[in-house]
Amino acid sequence: MGKNTGFKEYSRATVPYRNAADRLLDFKEIYTDPEENHLQTQGARCMDCGVPFCQSDHGCPIYNLIPEWNDLVYRGYWQEALHRLHKTNNFPEFTGRVCPAPCEGACVLGITDPAVTIKNIESAIIDKGFTEGWVLASPPELRTGKTIAIVGSGPCGLAAAAQLNQAGHQVTVHERADRLGGLLMYGIPNMKLDKYLVERRIQLMRDEGITFITNSDIGRDITLQALSIKHDAVLLATGSTVARDLDIEGREGADVHLAMDFLTANTKSLLDSDLRDGNYISAKDKNVIVIGGGDTGTDCIATSLRHGCKGLVNFEILAQPPAHRAESNPWPLWPVIHRSDYGHTESTHLFGEDPRVYSVLSKNFTRDAKGALTGIITVDVDHQFNEIPDSQRSWQADLILLSMGFLRPEHYLTESVDLELDNRGNFSANKTDFRTSIAKVYAAADCRRGQDLVVRAINEGREAARAIDIDLMGTSQLP
């Protein structure tokens, strides 16, 4: 490493978000542009550890060569850093923005000091690469004559398409929505991932020879069986899209919505008309309750604030995490600690307090005689989720958003074939060859393993691409 003592000399300093008061006024990205010397200083903190746990199984799921590009940034070799970054990651402009950075949780420096700002550096490398014109389409020199269909254009489907195309196969990606990107397009709000970035990357993939078809709903517009007959291989990358609902009294009726319905409608209306068409679920002048934490819950908070909600509360059934690692949560495991994300900070700025309420169990929604939503009844629970006596509370709400995760993929896709499911309803396939019980049909990422991170979806897309390439060609040069 270029600065062996950098981790002793420099403190961790993340690239700040835009001021909360300013960013609440729009749906533009929340990030600021970092100074190059700041990033070089932060890269210097990478400590030349003997075993870089940041790229181990506890760290980066795609095994990014993090110490190498940290050192290259410190030395000012940005184009070389971009080359190293793209060796393992097809879409660093996505992960650099939306990944929770398990690499930082496993950073060796994190044993005693705050971890290296890996995520900031990753994002800066790819942003500079596009600004400087270094990121260019690179079509394969030869074609194999094999055709592959990919169902779903989220991070897994896109990663698999990019890899298989580089191997020389002709790839067609089917997306049931009107825009490409899956979760990246409609599941993550614009202020966290500008949709121009998604469209820019997909255009590069088009230029490399990949075919994309929107409004193509496999299982309805064309059967999976017919698709598999037409192609040499089919990869299912549909995600886990059946949301966990809250089946309690009062659920039926208006103004209780699944989080993804709320976020998807907002982003589509934003892109279609800058919200002028009104085709979204508005939180304006409403008391909003978001049930469930995590990234999606935070995105619901931030979107509601931008609509102009009157009040906001976020329920979490778990207890508030500690400020620092517990003894049962040692390094290099992901640190389960109390964090404030962008939406929490914005809500605190606007309403004067953190919106989160912990150890709360929802009992029933309340409605008036006409069926209009008036609120929700909750009870407090202990760490084993036992209800605490005499802890019932009543909360006022005009809009309640359910952000409690996802259960499994939708099954209408496989009605034309007898595809085996696992005990959770996922498409059954192992992580060695990604084959399903149907010949020529493969499954990867959330529809195979359950809901997970964008970076793990990219990992499985890449690994499934290699497995498919081996099955079709007998061997593979894909990493």
Residue-wise pLDDT tens digits, 307-318: 999 999 999 999
Judge whether residue 2 has pLDDT over 80: no
In this prediction, residue 48 carries a pLDDT of 86
130-134: average pLDDT: 98
Q: Given pLDDT bands bounded at 50, 70 and 90, which one contains residue 352?
A: very high
Judge whether residue 238 has pLDDT over 90: yes
Domain residue ranges of the chain, discontinuous segments joined by +? 6-131, 147-241+407-473, 245-404
Q: What is the CATH number of domain 6-131?
A: 1.10.1060.10
Judge whether residue 254 has pLDDT over 70: yes
338-355: average pLDDT: 97
CATH topology of domain 245-404: FAD/NAD(P)-binding domain (3.50.50)
Residue-wise pLDDT tens digits, 24-75: 999 999 999 999 999 999 999 999 898 999 999 899 999 999 999 999 999 9
Q: What angle do CA 14, 112, 18 make, to 5 degrees?
A: 10
In this prediction, residue 65 carries a pLDDT of 95
User: Could you give the percent of the chain with pLDDT greater than 70?
Assistant: 100
Residue-wise pLDDT tens digits, 412-457: 999 999 999 999 999 999 999 999 999 999 999 999 999 999 999 9
Omega before 355 cis (within 30°)? no
202-213: average pLDDT: 98
Q: How many CA atoms lie within 13 A of 72 on its CB side?
A: 18
Judge whether residue 1 has pLDDT over 80: no
Residue-wise pLDDT tens digits, 257-288: 999 999 999 999 999 999 999 999 999 999 99
Judge whether residue 3 has pLDDT over 90: no
For helices 454-473 and 155-166, angle between their N-to-C axes, nearest 10 degrees: 30
Residue 300 to residues 189, 228, 240, 358, 403, Cα–Cα distance (Å): 9, 38, 19, 17, 8
Q: Which two tokens stand for residue 189?
A: 């709000």
Residue-wise pLDDT tens digits, 74-126: 999 999 999 999 999 999 999 999 999 999 999 999 999 999 999 999 999 99
Distance between CA atoms of 269 and 306, rounded to whole angstroms?
Answer: 14
Residue 288: name the closest of 404, 371, 401 by CA.
401
Using an 8 Å Cβ cutoff, are 380 and 399 in contact? Answer: no
Distance between CA atoms of 149 and 171, rounded to whole angstroms?
Answer: 6
Quote the DSSP letter at residue 399: E
- Domains 6-131 and 245-404 equal at CATH topology level: no
In this prediction, residue 338 carries a pLDDT of 96
Looking at the domain covering 147-241+407-473, what would its CATH class be?
A: alpha beta
Q: Which two tokens stand for residue 468?
A: 């498919």
Write down how long the chain is: 479
Q: Given pLDDT bands bounded at 50, 70 and 90, which one contains residue 458?
A: very high
Average pLDDT, the chain: 97
- For residue 328, how many other CB atoms are within 10 A of its CB? 7
E strand residue ranges, 20-119 = none
Residue-wise pLDDT tens digits, 375-389: 999 999 999 999 999
Quote the DSSP letter at residue 49: -
